[in-house]
Amino acid sequence: MTIESASRRRLLQGAGAAVGSLLLPLSAQAAARFTIGDTDFLLDGQRLQIRCGEMHFARVPREYWSHRLKAIKAMGLNTVCAYLFWNYHEWREGRYDWQGQRDAAEFCRLAQQEGLWVILRPGPYACAEWEMGGLPWWLLKKPGDAFLRTRDANFVQPARRYMKEVGRVLGPQQITHGGPILMVQVENEYGFFGEDLAYMREMKAMLQEAGFDVPLFQCNPTNAVVKSHIDGLFNVANFGSDPATGFKALDQVQKGPRMCGEYYSGWFDTWGAPHRRGSAAGAVADIQAMLKMNGSFSLYMAHGGTSFGLWGGCDRPFRPDTSSYDYDAPISEAGWMGEKFQAYREGIKPYLQPGETLPPPPPQNPVIAIAPFGFKESCPVQAALPAQAIKAASPLPLEQYDISRGVVSYRVTLPAGPAGTLEAAKVRDLAWVSIDGRQVGTFDTRYRRYSVELPARSKPVTLEILLYTIARVNFGVEIHDRKGLHGPVRFNGQPLENWDIRAIDFDADAVLPPLTWKKGRSAGAAFWRGSFDAARTGDSFLDLSGWGQGIVWVNGRCLGRYWSIGPTQTMYLPGPWIKAGHNEVVVLDLTGPRSARMAGLKTPILDQLHPELDLARPPSKVKPALDGVKPAHEGEFARGSAVQDVKFAQPVRGRQFCLEALDAFDGKSHAAVAELALLGVDGKTLNQSNWTIVYVSSEEASKEDGGALNAINGQATDYWHTAYSKGPLPKPPHRLIIDLGADAEVAGLRYTPRQGPDSVTGRIRRYRAYVGTLVN
Q: In this complex, which beta carbon is closest to ligand GLA, that of residue 299 or of residue 392?
A: 299
Interface pick for ligand GLA out of 268, 532, 724, 770 (rule CB under 6 A): 268
Please name which of 154, 70, 148 lies closest in space to residue 115, comparing C-alpha atoms. 70
DSSP 384: H
Three-state SS for 161?
Answer: helix
Active site residue 63: no
Is the Cβ of residue 299 or residue 433 nearer to ligand GLA in the bound state?
Answer: 299
d(CA 470, CA 285): 38
Q: What is the smallest separation between the CB atom of 130 and ligand GLA, expressed in angstroms?
A: 8
Binding test (CB under 6 A) with ligand GLA, winner from 90, 114, 187, 189: 189
Beta bridge partners of 582: 533
Cβ-Cβ contacts under 8 Å for 667 (sequence gap 6 or more):
none
CB of 395 to ligand GLA, least distance (A): 31
Q: What is the DSSP letter of 449?
A: B
In the complex, least distance from residue 134 CB atom to ligand GLA, rounded to whole angstroms: 9
State the number of binding residues for ligand GLA (CB under 6 A): 9
Residue 76 gets which letter from DSSP?
T
- Report the alpha-carbon distance of residue 243 to residue 77 in Å, rounded: 18
Q: Are 219 and 264 in contact (CB under 8 A)?
A: no
Biggest CA–CA distance in the chain, Å, is 89
Select from 424, 775, 450 the least CA-distant residue to 625.
Answer: 775
Between 318 and 695, CB nearer to ligand GLA: 318
Which of 114, 262, 399, 478 is catalytic? The answer is: 262
Of 44, 131, 187, 262, the one binding ligand GLA (CB under 6 A) is 262
Instruction: Choose between 189 and 699: whose C-beta lies nearer to ligand GLA.
Output: 189
Phi and psi angles of residue 50, each rounded to the nearest 5 degrees, phi first: -85, 120
Decide: residue 657, CB within 10 A, 0-12 exposed, 13-18 middle, 19+ buried: buried
Q: How far is the CB of 696 from ligand GLA (least distance, A)?
A: 23
Between β-strands 41-43 and 46-48, what pairing exists: parallel, antiparallel or unpaired?
antiparallel
Closer CB to ligand GLA, residue 278 or residue 592? 278
Q: Looking at beta carbons, which residue is closest to ligand GLA?
A: 127
> What binding mask, one character per residue, do residues 39-78 give for ligand GLA by CB under 6 A, x or -?
----------------------------------------
Least distance in Å: CB of 295 to ligand GLA?
Answer: 18
According to the binding rule CB under 6 A, does residue 315 interact with ligand GLA?
no
- Residues 87-146 close enough to bind ligand GLA by CB under 6 A: 126-129
Q: What one-letter code names the amino acid at 250?
A: L
Q: 100: left (phi > 0), else alpha (psi -120 to 50), else beta?
A: left
- Residue 691 falls in which region: left (phi positive, over 0), alpha (psi -120 to 50) or beta: beta
Spatial separation of the C-alpha atoms in residues 202 and 200, rounded to whole Å? 5
Of the pair 479, 590, the CB lying nearest ligand GLA is at: 479
What's the min distance (Å) between Cβ of 733 and ligand GLA?
Answer: 31
Fill in the per-residue mask, 752 to 771: x = in contact with ligand GLA (CB under 6 A), - = not in contact.
--------------------
Show contacts with ligand GLA in window 591-620 (CB under 6 A): none
Phi, psi dihedrals of residue 340, rounded to the nearest 5°: -65, -45
Task: Tell me if 269 contacts ligand GLA by CB under 6 A.
Answer: no
Among 131, 187, 189, 464, the active-site one is: 189
Measure the CA–CA gap between 576 and 571, rounded to whole angstroms. 15
- H or E stretch including 532? strand 526-534
Coil, strand, or helix at residue 47? strand
Is the CB of 81 or the CB of 287 nearer to ligand GLA? 81
Residue of 185, 238, 332, 713 that binds ligand GLA (CB under 6 A): 238
- Catalytic annotation on 399? no
- Tell the smallest beta-carbon distance from residue 718 to ligand GLA (Å): 9
* Binding flag, residue 188, ligand GLA (CB under 6 A): yes
Q: How far is CA 87 from CA 116, 138, 472, in A?
A: 26, 9, 12
For ligand GLA, the closer of residues 238 and 522 by Cβ is: 238
Residues that bind ligand GLA (CB under 6 A): 126-129, 188-189, 238, 262, 268
Q: Which residues are catalytic?
A: 189, 262
